[in-house]
């Protein structure tokens, strides 16, 4: 094994050694396209979530979300990015699990999955969802869900290029 083989540490370096300069350049192009697709999907998906939850403008979300990441990355470096990613994940899981447990064990209004289902059916009659089949909250025919599915499909496609 040559010294170059032992010093490789990235896929791009492996591509250079295995396929030569032309393969290396092609791999760089594909990796760049992959990174762009993933960044766009993350930004659009994150903005769509904020729009659905708060009504924030999607374009504002696309610009504001990365600004926060850039600020804490510039001030704390890659270590800050990794730590905040782990912290965000822990907080999100804790909030989701706590919400589920509280909703299904302590709520006098909800109390069980069957009751939640019945209330969602009643809510669809009072406040139907535009773009969903019959205005239902519980449907497999939703225009927004199709768009979200396209975003997820593109994200999966983007992650399999590299």
Higher model confidence: residue 92 or residue 68? 92
Using one digit for the tens of pLDDT, what is the confidence trace for 102-115?
Answer: 877 777 777 778 88
Contact 60, 46 (CB under 8 A): no
**Residue ranges of domains in the chain:** 3-161
- In this prediction, residue 8 carries a pLDDT of 52
Using one digit for the tens of pLDDT, what is the confidence trace for 112-157?
Answer: 788 888 888 888 888 888 878 877 888 778 777 788 788 777 767 6
The full DSSP string for the chain is --HHHHH--SHHHHHHHHHHHHHHHHHHHHHHHHHHHHHHHHHHHHHHHHHHHH---HHHHHHHHHHHHHHHHHHHHHHHHHHHHHHHHHHHHHHHHHHHHHHHHT-SSS-SHHHHHHHHHHHHHHSPPTTBGGG-SS-S-BHHHHHHHHHHHHHHHHHHH-
Using one digit for the tens of pLDDT, what is the confidence trace for 22-66?
Answer: 988 988 898 888 888 878 878 888 888 888 778 888 888 888 888
- Quick one: tokens of 112? 């069980």
Q: 0.75 cut: is pTM over it?
A: no
- In this prediction, residue 33 carries a pLDDT of 85
Q: Is the backbone of residue 135 left (phi > 0), alpha (psi -120 to 50) or beta? A: left
């Amino acid at each position: 094994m040559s010294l170059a083989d032992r010093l490789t540490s990235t896929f791009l370096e492996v591509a250079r050694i295995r396929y030569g300069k032309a393969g290396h350049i092609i791999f760089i192009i594909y990796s760049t396209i992959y990174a762009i697709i993933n960044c766009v999907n993350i930004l659009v998906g994150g903005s769509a979530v904020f729009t659905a939850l708060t009504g924030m403008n999607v374009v504002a979300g696309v610009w504001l979300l990365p600004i926060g990441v850039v600020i804490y990355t510039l001030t704390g470096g890659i270590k800050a990015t990794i730590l905040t990613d782990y912290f965000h994940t822990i907080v999100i899981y804790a909030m989701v699990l706590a919400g589920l447990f509280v909703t299904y064990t302590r709520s006098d209004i909800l109390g069980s999955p069957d009751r939640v289902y019945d209330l969602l059916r009643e809510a669809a009659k009072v406040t139907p969802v535009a773009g969903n089949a019959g205005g239902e909250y519980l449907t497999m025919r939703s225009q927004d869900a199709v768009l979200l599915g396209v975003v997820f499909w593109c994200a999966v496609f983007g992650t399999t290029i590299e």
